[in-house]
Amino acid sequence: MQSGLYVGISSQIALERRLNTIADNMANMNTVGFRATEVKFDEVLSKTSNDINAKVAFVTQGNDYLATRSGELQQTGNPLDFAVKGDAWFAIDTPAGQVLTRDGRFTLDANGMLRSSRGFSVLDAGGAPIQLNREGGPPTVSADGTIRQNDVIVGQLGLYTADISQGFNRYDNEGVIPVDNPQPVVDAFNTSVVQGYVEQSNVNGIREMTQLIQVNRAFEGMSSLMRDSESAMDDAIRVLGGSNS
DSSP bridge pairs for 123: 129
Q: Cα–Cα–Cα angle for 28, 29, 33, nearest 5°?
A: 75
In this predicted structure, what is the pLDDT of residue 144? Answer: 93
Domain ranges of the chain: 2-67+204-243, 73-199
Instruction: Please classify residue 26 by burial: count the beta carbons closer than 10 Å to its beta carbon, then call 0-12 exposed, 13-18 middle and 19+ buried.
Output: middle
- Give pLDDT tens digits along the chain (245 positions): 455 555 666 666 777 788 888 999 999 999 999 999 988 755 444 444 444 444 555 455 567 789 989 999 999 999 999 999 999 999 999 999 999 999 999 999 999 999 999 999 999 999 999 999 988 888 999 999 999 999 999 999 999 999 998 889 999 888 999 999 999 998 778 899 999 999 999 999 999 999 888 887 877 766 666 665 656 566 566 666 665 54
How confident is the model at residue 52, as a pLDDT? Answer: 46
Q: What is the pTM for the complete model shown?
A: 0.78
- What is the model's pLDDT at position 119? 95
Query: Would you list the DSSP string of 118-161?
Result: TSPEEB-TTSPBPB--TTS-S-EE-TT-EEEETTEEEEE---EE
